[in-house]
Chain A
Amino acid sequence: MKTRTTVMGGSRRLSYRTAVTAISAGLLLALGSHKAAADGPDADTTARAHQLAVSVCASCHGPKGNSEAPKFPRLAGQSATYLAAQLRAFRGQTRGDPDAIGYMWGMAANLDDKLIDALGAYYTAQAAGHIPVKDAALVARGKDIYEKGVASTGVPACAACHQPDAHGTPDFPRLAGQHTQYLLKQLGSFQNNMRDVAVMHGVAAGLQQSEMEAVAAFLQSQP
């Protein structure tokens, strides 16, 4: 299990002793989390997650996480860390976009941490697909925004965090191959803060609808 990166801010100066203690504790935590990540979920939990993914999650998220219905995000190849963080947010009812409330708050309510991590591990291991978009001009415009941002309105390049290939990092989700409609709905939820993520709220605030549609079309078609 990985720990989330935190950014310390403020101008208060730490004493030497406090700093040493903090660093030591941080190292211990990092080592601990590294050990947990190396161990991975036990066989029993992995089997439970596999059963759950095939018999329950697949009804909406599709076989092996490649959903057909654009209402439900594709999970195949998604970052395990990101998936686990989202499942914990559903369980804790801190992710508040409409479908999260209607579907996932209940679905995740009884998942324990081990099972959440195992589900993340299952989906990250699945082969991700993509869905071609016919409108080449739209895709090209989306690619441009994705890679460079929109300078006139101060929208940063998506690629800076989500990576040039849109495959993401452990903390920033994979967007390649994701359903256009799902991406648009999420951007809308970031804009109106139903999904309360400060960074994405800032990024999405300056995006016009046509720009979001272009980026989403590019991402859906991105392998």
Chain B
Amino acid sequence: MTRSRFASPAAWLAMLVPLYLAGAQTAWAVPSFARQTGMACEACHTIFPELTHFGRTFKANGYTLSSLKQVRDVDAAKSELLALSQMPPLSIMAQVSYTDLKKTLPDLSADGVNGKALNGTVAFPQQISLFYAGEIAPHLGGFIQLTYGNDSGSFGIDNTDLRFADVAVLSGDQSLVYGVSLNNNPTVQDLWNSTPAFGFPYAASNSMVSPLAGTQIDGTLAQSVAGLTGYVFWNESLYAEFGFYRSAQQGAANALTGAAGPLDGTASNVISGSAPYWRVAYEYNTGRHSFEVGAYGMDVKLFPGGSPGGEQLLSGKVNRFNDVAQDLQYQYLGDVHMFSVNGTRIHESMTLDASAATNAVANKSNDLTTWRLTGTYYYRHKIGGSLGYFDTTGSADAGLYPSPGEGSLGVVTSANNRPDTKGWVAEVNYLPWLNTKFTLQYTGFSRFNGGGNNYDGAGRNAADNNSLYLLVWFSY
């Protein structure tokens, strides 16, 4: 085991880097739902993308509620063959932003020269998304997002959730919604905003420094998996879901044929078989108050792969990540004042047999725990803000959270090989219209990649990564 080996575990970084902040870049607000239902945004959202109770039931029912005229066809037995909305449920969304880091980054381009990157990043756009979001056929609906990002400079698949759903009327006029979701991001199908895919911050800069550590269920697998889950929602209060995810990587090719599959050892972090996903939640509504408590989790076994030399084949030992999370949500929906609290705790137990066998990690067993708690207030659907706290802690590992190597510029390293990152996000929002949001957001770090001062071993402090973010976000 050598130090240089720790310093460049590309596969690990690819797996672990983006997470908490970058995972929140993708965002969702879909006026095509409003066009389809004929109902204003406020029926389903407090302020987009946070869902109201009605929004949750709309989603559970497969995005199919519609007031649009339909093109229909039936057969001789009056069986319905087609029910097609006369207006396709299409939407467009754009984000334009400006990000200023408290301390800019070292310039990697000029080797040996102590340069600085230009601070103050204008993203025009940061993101443009196209949506098909709405009913496809009776009981079948979809939320399909294609996103152009200025970081990739290209269009790609973003959050996608295809659903079949129906509802049974039980005795005593209780309802049982049941359905199936085919999606590409664990928790994107969830109904509450306390889980990662639709959790706070709803929009964040993609020009910030992201911490090294994040759990698998917390955005790491987004858009590189396909999951099929079944769910029931009893009486719009008790929710249970179970299903499996399998790798469905974008842009990966078979090294032998160049075809899109089957995946081979050149692909990184490929799920062994299928990873089970589970979710239970209970929601209680009284007066203007809505409470939810729940738990969710996933057990992922990954082949590290990523070794063209055949060092790590997609067979044999795996790295296992067992994520178990709890969440809660509270909403108060008044006509003038709205208030909500979302929180989650995600614990991940890692058993890294595959990486330990190649000395890519220091410990065979590691753990990681992320806390997140956010409070949001809005006045008359116009002006509001959020304050969010985040905290990730875990065991030290020089392979997962490497120290800076010889000549390293730091920033994405950890002097003490710890994952700990802690801080807060504060934002103020103004919505002149319900589909237009102006945001001023500040993210502050008290701890980053394990430390406060000189966290990276190259002289950078956690607070140097603090960032000011201005965002114009609209959808149509």
Q: Which residues of A come within 8 Å of B, CB atoms?
A: 50-51, 53-56, 58-60, 63-64, 68-71, 101-103, 105-110, 181, 185
19 contacts between A and B (CB under 8 A): A50-B169, A53-B173, A56-B65, A58-B175, A58-B236, A63-B174, A63-B235, A68-B287, A69-B285, A69-B287, A69-B288, A69-B333, A70-B288, A101-B40, A106-B38, A107-B39, A110-B68, A181-B335, A185-B335
Which chain A residue shows the least CB distance to B61? Answer: A55
List 20 extra interface pairs beyond A54-B169, A58-B236, A107-B38, CB under 8 A. A50-B169, A54-B167, A54-B174, A55-B177, A59-B53, A59-B54, A68-B286, A69-B53, A69-B285, A69-B287, A71-B333, A101-B40, A102-B42, A103-B39, A103-B40, A106-B34, A106-B38, A106-B67, A109-B67, A110-B68
Provide the main secondary structure of the chain A interface: helix
Question: What residues of chain A lie closer than 8 Å to B145, measured between beta carbons?
Answer: none
A147 to chain B, nearest CB (A): 28
Q: Which residues of B (217-237) have their CB < 8 Å from a CB of A?
A: 235-236
Residues of A within 8 A of B169 (CB): 50-51, 54-55
Chain B residues contacting A59 (CB-CB under 8 Å) are: 53-54, 57, 236
A58 CB contacts on chain B under 8 angstroms: 173, 175, 236
B167, A55: Cβ atoms under 8 Å? yes
Residues of A with C-beta under 8 A to B39: 102-103, 105-107
Number of interface residues of B (CB under 8 A): 30
Contact partners of A107 in chain B: CB under 8 A: 37-39, 67
The 6 lowest CB-CB distance pairs between A and B, nearest first, are A106-B38, A102-B40, A109-B67, A106-B39, A55-B167, A59-B57
Assess the B175–A54 pair: CB atoms within 8 A: yes
B10 at the interface (CB under 8 A from A): no
* Chain A residues with CB below 8 A from B335, complex form: 71, 181, 185
Tell me the number of A-to-B contacts counted with CB atoms below 8 Å.
72
From 144 to 201 in chain B, residues with beta carbon under 8 angstroms from any chain A beta carbon are 167, 169, 173-175, 177
Q: Are B167 and A63 in contact (CB under 8 A)?
A: no
Of B43, B67, B68, B287, which contacts A102 at CB under 8 A? B43
A167–B169 alpha-carbon span in the complex (Å): 29
* Closest partner residue, chain B, to A60 (CB atom): B54
Are B167 and A64 closer than 8 Å at their CB atoms? no
B242 CB to nearest chain A CB (Å): 23
A63 contact from B43, B173, B177, Cβ within 8 A: B173
The interface centre, meaning the residue of A50, A102, A108 with most chain B CB atoms within 10 A of its CB, is: A102
Q: How far does the alpha carbon of A107 sit from the alpha carbon of B34 in the complex, in Å?
A: 11
CB–CB B38/A109 < 8 A: yes
Q: Which residues of chain B in 232-259 are interfacial with respect to chain A, using CB atoms and an 8 Å cutoff?
A: 235-236
Residue in B closest to A50 when the chains form the complex, CB atoms: B169
Least distance between B57 CB and chain A CB atoms (Å): 4
B173 and A106 contacting across the interface, CB-CB below 8 Å: no
**A residues less than 8 Å from B173 (CB atoms):** 50, 53-54, 58, 63-64
Q: Is A55 a contact partner of B175 (Cβ separation < 8 A)? A: yes
Interface centre among B53, B173, B236 (most CB of A within 10 A): B173
B435 to chain A, nearest CB (A): 14
**With a CB–CB cut-off of 8 A, which chain B residues contact A51?**
167, 169
* Docked CA distance A103–B43 (Å): 6
